[in-house]
Amino acid sequence: MLQETNIGSGRMTESSSELAVLRLSEVRKAYHSGREDLEVLKGVSFDVKAGETVSIIGPSGSGKTTLLGICAGLDRPSTGSVSLCGQELSGLGEDERAAIRNESVGFVFQNFQLIPTLTALENVMVPLELRGEKGARERAKELLGQVGLGDRISHYPIQLSGGEQQRVALARAFVNKPRILFADEPTGNLDTDTSEPIVELLFGLNKTAGTTLVLVTHDLDLAKTTDRLLRIDHGVLQEVEKAGADE
């Protein structure tokens, strides 16, 4: 049985907020459904400090992906505040939020989200080219070499296995040296044998880069490898004590 403690805004002291790469305060998200509002997130508050690894677990439909989208500035909360990389997102337009993501955020998705008309190398170059950085090709080759695809740089996604596509996605996520990485079920479309090396690569690259990691997963064993576990259920977020996660 998982041991859980409520997370409230009181947890975010002045000193912790100064160090937080990500901070949510009383975030609520509701969708209109007919005459009723469906509340997906219910007063979520938590912070993630620089260099921390945090996993978010919960059943399907519990609000995990919605929460991750709001954390990353891809979606807006109905009420509450979100601070990402020192920027309060509520007063920013889409272009300004996109600029923060391009500069400081990396993403890994369950379905890879590679551009099918680009090669592996070109896919990894995209974040750097959006920033107008020089040396994008060399940096992308370096990352593809680190994930074991140095000999596959000219292949298109359709020519790669699922595990290879996720390796390309990992290289793309880390190529711009992000301050924070959001991973949404990164092994969800992979079998066990393929998942294990992907997880090792994810945490290895993350440790080397010193990146803050926020991971959404159904896999409790994977979740327990992070510094902290958060569980969301029916829109309510609670912190899980890792010592009791096996009970």
Mean predicted confidence (pLDDT) in 122-130: 94
Single-letter amino acid code for the residue at 99: A
DSSP tag of 68? H
Q: What is the pLDDT of residue 241?
A: 83
pLDDT, mean of residues 190-206:
92
Number of Cβ within 10 Å of residue 32's Cβ equals 8
Is residue 5 a part of any domain in this protein? no
β-strand pairing of 180-184 with 105-109: parallel
Q: Is residue 167 part of a domain?
A: yes
Band the pLDDT of 147: cuts 50, 70, 90: very high
Reported residue count of the chain is: 247
Q: How many domains does the chain have?
A: 1
**What does pTM read for this prediction?**
0.87
Domain that holds residue 135: 50-76+91-241
Kindly report, residue by residue over 9-50, the tens digit of the pLDDT: 334 444 444 589 999 999 999 998 777 888 999 999 999 999
Single-letter code of the amino acid located at 5 = T
Q: Where are the beta strands (DSSP E) in the chain?
A: 3-6, 20-33, 36-49, 53-57, 79-84, 87-88, 105-109, 180-184, 212-216, 228-233, 236-241
Token couple for 76: 């807006």
Asked if residue 40 is part of any domain, the answer here is no
Residue 98's CATH number: 3.40.50.300
Average pLDDT over residues 226-232: 96
